[in-house]
């Protein structure tokens, strides 16, 4: 199965165009690049869940973003990847 390229949702597109009208398209592109560079997932952690307080059951905890601590993939990265994949035409 081929990986999907992220697309901007209508809400993200409106947010991007509004930011571009206030601060300029170049500023929005730089912001998206910075978010893509800084927001990274931490490693999934193997934890133990206790069943009936007796039986240990291994469990893999989902990765989280190192910057905002949301579940990976965080909304900021989804926005930045969608903006960078759609290119400058999304802001014009």
CA 25/CA 31 separation, integer angstroms? 10
The pLDDT value recorded for residue 35 is 92
Q: What is the per-residue pLDDT across 19-77, written as a single tens digit (0 to 9) for each?
A: 888 998 889 889 999 999 999 999 878 889 999 989 999 998 888 999 998 988 888 89
Does the global pTM surpass 0.75? no
């Amino acid at each position: 199965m081929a990986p999907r390229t992220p697309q901007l949702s209508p809400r993200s597109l409106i947010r991007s165009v509004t930011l571009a009208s206030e601060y300029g398209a170049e500023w929005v592109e730089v912001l998206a690049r910075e978010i893509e560079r800084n927001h990274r997932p931490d490693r999934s952690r193997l934890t133990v869940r206790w069943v009936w307080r007796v039986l240990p059951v291994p469990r893999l905890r989902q990765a989280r973003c190192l910057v905002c601590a949301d579940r990976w993939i965080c909304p900021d990265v989804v926005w930045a990847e969608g903006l960078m994949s759609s290119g400058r035409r999304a802001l014009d």
